[in-house]
Amino acid sequence: MAKEDTNGGAGTSNGIVSDGVPATVEEVDEKVDELTLADSSETGGQEAAKKKKKKNKSKRKKDTKEQTDPPTIPVAELFPQGNFPEGEIQEYKDDNLWRTTSEEKRDLERLEKPMYDSVRQAAEVHRQVRKYIRSIIKPGMLMVDLCETLENTVRKEWSTSWYCIPYRMFIELGCSPLDPNSGDKTVLQYDDVMKLDFGTHINGRIVDCAFTVAFNPMFDPLLEASREATNTGIKEAGIDVRLCDVGAAIQEVMESYEVEINGKVFQVKSIRNLNGHSIGPYQIHAGKSVPIVKGGEQTKMEEGEFYAIETFGSTGKGYVREDLECSHYMKNFDVGHVPLRLPRAKQLLATIDKNFSTLAFCRRYLDRLGETKYLMALKNLCDAGVVQPYPPLCDTKGSYVSQFEHTILLRPTCKE
């Protein structure tokens, strides 16, 4: 309890009232100075903390690399933690919609993370390379120069090793595939319709993708037809879906388009003897075909499978044949030991096994490895059934073809 002083005021102790309030003007001034110093100290601390936080944020931003133009930084360095971007996610439809929220299926996906990381890295390489290539394509370019630019870009996108499944380009009457050989002088023209189809892989997990370039807007409906047909195929694909149903949906969309070329109207046709395909480890064509017309196989798609959904729209007959010089080859996946009589063929096969295994390659790749005078040996390997040649495929002369392709994975819970 406070004591009463001689002046009749409230009792104090050392000039301060019992509730801590200053009793004199001098003491009030001293208290104000103390509070000012305390506020200043606290404010300074907050500012220092803000500066430190800003510095750390700036450091983190500096540590995060951004891709150059043209791309020169390996994708693995852009994502040092190995968390590569997911592809576009689409939910399953109808009877498979339950998979989206199934905990059991989510557990299965967690077990497959290393495989998903590999294919996502390959997809990111493909995405960055095709984005850059789209930006530099123009009339007047040599086709072989465009090929070399693409392949060099893919090499830079890899951190330790690289492989570009051959760059396939085809103009006007070509459909699939044509990879210019060394010395090819073909020049890209304004009125050309050029298809670009190449693949990338990490640990054998292949991403196969294609797109079409046309500078003349006259061809826009043709490109739109195959683009939308491919998107339809992806939308219709799914676990337990029959391949023939996917083909029927693709054809319906493709052939709903018309294109006017130099005053003449053409209905866009699906090329009936070209297909999409399943993809396996180190196997670009894994056994199942995805038709792009109705009446195909009754086989069902299965969980965990990879598919290249690709469509071809043509102003010609909608049927292709082999033509022109072959540049594209691939060792047969299931071939066993085949006795070879030519020593040069044995030597060439050793080079193919070491550098390409069962992945596709072109003659320029052999040139780059220092192989010379190998055409006879390569023909011997083809004749023996060890290597399969893939010559260009063409529709009728004067026709135009567009192509779009994407790779999808039928995950347990969704399509990616």
Reading the chain (416 residues) residue by residue, the pLDDT tens digits are 444 444 444 444 444 444 544 555 556 566 556 655 555 555 555 665 555 555 555 555 455 688 888 888 888 889 988 899 999 999 999 899 999 999 999 999 999 999 999 999 999 999 999 999 999 999 999 888 888 888 888 877 664 444 555 545 555 544 544 556 666 778 889 999 999 898 999 999 999 999 999 999 999 999 999 999 999 999 999 999 999 999 999 999 999 999 999 999 999 999 999 999 999 999 999 999 999 999 888 999 999 999 999 999 999 999 999 887 888 899 999 998 899 999 999 999 999 999 999 999 989 899 989 999 999 999 999 999 999 999 888 899 889 999 999 999 999 999 99
Active site residue 201: no
pTM of the model: 0.81
CA dihedral of 329, 330, 331, 335, whole degrees rounded to 10: -110
Tokens of 389: 């040649």
What whole-number distance in Å separates Cα of residue 9 and Cα of residue 1?
A: 14
Q: Beta-carbon neighbour count of residue 200 at 10 Å? A: 28
Active site residue 328: no
- Of 157, 208, 228, 245, the catalytic one is 208
* Res 67: pLDDT: 84
* Res 65: pLDDT: 80
Q: Sign of the CA dihedral 377, 379, 380, 382?
A: positive
What whole-number distance in Å separates Cα of residue 138 and Cα of residue 147?
A: 13
Tokens of 59: 């450091």
At residue 60's C-alpha, the angle toward residues 54 and 64, to 5°, is 140
Q: Which residue has the tokens 């023209």?
A: 189
| Helix or strand run (H / E) with residue 157 | helix 143-157
Domains of the chain: 84-319+398-409 (3.90.230.10), 330-389 (1.10.10.10)
At residue 88's C-alpha, the angle toward residues 170 and 305, to 5°, is 75
Active site residue 192: no
What whole-number distance in Å separates Cα of residue 55 and Cα of residue 50?
A: 8
Strand spans (E) along 222-325: 258-261, 264-267, 269-270, 275-279, 289-291, 306-314, 321-322
- Of 126, 201, 277, 328, the catalytic one is 277
Which residues, in sequence order, are bridge partners of residue 253? Answer: none
Q: Which residues contact 323 (CB under 8 A, 6 or more apart)?
A: 391, 392, 393, 394
Active site residue 148: no
Active site residue 184: no
Q: Sign of the CA dihedral 150, 153, 155, 157?
A: negative
Tell me how long the chain is: 416
Q: What are phi and psi of 146, to 5 degrees?
A: -65, -40
- Of 192, 310, 395, 416, the catalytic one is 310
Burial class (CB in 10 A: 0-12, 13-18, 19+), 181: middle
* Res 76: pLDDT: 87
| Helix or strand run (H / E) with residue 171 | strand 164-171
* Res 154: pLDDT: 80
- Of 151, 157, 197, 371, the catalytic one is 197
Question: Which of 395, 386, 400 is CA-nearest to residue 334?
Answer: 386
| Helix or strand run (H / E) with residue 403 | strand 401-409
CA dihedral of 390, 266, 195, 243, whole degrees rounded to 10: -60
- Of 192, 395, 405, 416, the catalytic one is 405
Active site residue 66: no
- Of 285, 303, 323, 367, the catalytic one is 285
* Res 160: pLDDT: 41
